[in-house]
Amino acid sequence: MRKKLLIAFLLFNPIVFVLGWWHGEFVMITWAAFGVVVHTYYHDRLERFDAETVIALKQKVDSKLVSSLSFVTIFVFFIVVWFFDETTVPLLDTLYVIVGLVMVRRGLLIRRTILDETIDTTNIVYMKKSPSS
């Protein structure tokens, strides 16, 4: 039931986003909600692993998230400082976008680590190309 509810929220978010864009409100809140739904959907898929594996996967995801966020923060800071003359930014809208982006990124990293964990690489055969061919 939880998966169906999350998929319903995932389909409902673009509709609310378009309505908010048309009306001029709720666009950034919808982006944050989309991030939370994506993160929750992939976080629920961790339940099929044991506790030790879940802890290891979460540590791997968090380390990748922090390293990518530090790079993106430095990059965005330089772009904003050099190319924008805008001295004021709506803080609440910016926070909604940041929370949405972080949650989407963490959800997609969880998805990637789950795929890496479930793919069995023990039966892979590597073929070398000979110099004569």
Flag whether pLDDT at 88 surpasses 70: no
14-28, 83-97, 110-124: range with highest mean pLDDT:
110-124
* Predicted confidence band of residue 73 (pLDDT cuts 50, 70, 90): confident
| DSSP 8-state class, residue 24 | T
Flag whether pLDDT at 38 surpasses 60: yes
Of 5, 4, 106, 110, the residue nearest 53 (C-alpha): 110
> How much is the average pLDDT of 105-119?
89
20-34, 60-74, 110-124: range with highest mean pLDDT:
60-74
